[in-house]
Amino acid sequence: MWTLDDLKNDRDTQITAICIGFFLIAFPLYFSVAASGVDGSAGMGGVRDYEVSGELTYVELASGGEYIADGTTYNIENLHTDAIDGADDMNIVGVRLTMTYGEDDESSNGGPFSPCSIPGNNNNQADTISGDTEHAGFTGSASGQNGGQGGSHFAEAIWYNDSMMGVISGLSEAEIVAQIDAMGAGLGPYNASVSVAAETGGGGGCQHTDEGEDVSYTVELIVFDYAIAPYIEITDV
């Protein structure tokens, strides 16, 4: 135990006391500063510049083909992530329904000498193919037409911030994660459907019939794998 005289006269005691005082002040200050750079989520960084990189992959949930009659809707059934191995470990951030179809297949009532042989009377009219997809209240819809040739289009629903890429400023790491990680929200049942509105062409006594359209479909889960790192700007010296 030191006495007041030791502190006044003993150089070793003075040095020891100064060192103890320094650490008593420095350590709380250090941990206070360190804590200010870490947000409430364990191990995540606080507000600063971050660089977010990532890659989208698509995991097939269902596929097939169906002849869809004019004015009707085909519902794609049994869509659930339980059918996907390892779905619990995926960051599922969306769903995409892709529809593919051939050229318009109208039929006419004309022969080589009928009104259908007159130029302009035997033109087909494009059909409209529409798709809808849904999960947990998130919806996506899109329509396309086949016209004089086949085509393809997709309907998509997402539930993450797809603009959160590149250098991000003014947010903590946890705030960034909250916008790009679905946290299991992509698990569960899905809904998807395809409908056809057929149109008939012809004219001038040339009658066309069009009863529907053959449509191939693929339902895919959208998976986002990402990485977040502190952004360090490198400038020329």
- Residue 23 placed within a domain: yes
Mean pLDDT of 1-20: 59
Mean pLDDT of 163-180: 97
pLDDT range class, residue 103, cuts 50, 70, 90: confident
Residues 24 and 97 in one domain: no
Residues 102 and 14 in one domain: no
Residue 146 has a pLDDT of 84
- Residue 237 placed within a domain: no
Residues 168 and 71 in one domain: yes
> In the chain, where does DSSP find H-type helix?
4-9, 11-36, 173-180
Cα–Cα distance, 75 to 53 (Å, whole number): 36
Mean pLDDT, rounded, of the chain: 82
Residues 30 and 53 in one domain: no
- Residue 41 placed within a domain: no
pLDDT higher than threshold 60 for residue 29: no
Cα–Cα distance, 162 to 56 (Å, whole number): 10
Residue 87 has a pLDDT of 98
Cα–Cα distance, 20 to 141 (Å, whole number): 69
Beta pairing partners, 193: 75, 132
pLDDT range class, residue 39, cuts 50, 70, 90: very low
Query: In this structure, how many other beta carbons lie within 10 angstroms of the beta carbon of residue 208?
Result: 21
Which is nearest to 132 in space by CA: 74, 70, 63? 74
Residues 10 and 55 in one domain: no
Residue 10 has a pLDDT of 62
- Which one of 141-155, 180-194, 205-219 scores highest in mean pLDDT? 180-194
Residues 54 and 28 in one domain: no
Residues 97 and 119 in one domain: yes
Residue 37 has a pLDDT of 44
pLDDT range class, residue 164, cuts 50, 70, 90: very high
Q: Which domain holds residue 13?
A: 4-36
CA atoms within 13 A on the CB side of 175: 13
Structure tokens at 26: 């420095």
Q: Are 190 and 79 in contact (CB under 8 A)?
A: yes
- Residue 42 placed within a domain: no
Mean pLDDT of 158-169: 97
Residues 58 and 135 in one domain: yes
Residues 57 and 31 in one domain: no
Residues 19 and 59 in one domain: no
Burial class (CB in 10 A: 0-12, 13-18, 19+), 47: middle
- Residue 235 placed within a domain: no
pLDDT range class, residue 14, cuts 50, 70, 90: low
Which is nearest to 125 in space by CA: 150, 104, 98, 108? 104
Cα–Cα distance, 175 to 164 (Å, whole number): 11
pTM score, whole prediction: 0.75
Residues 64 and 15 in one domain: no
Helix, strand, or coil here: 24?
Answer: helix
Tally of structural domains, the chain: 2
Residues 185 and 112 in one domain: yes
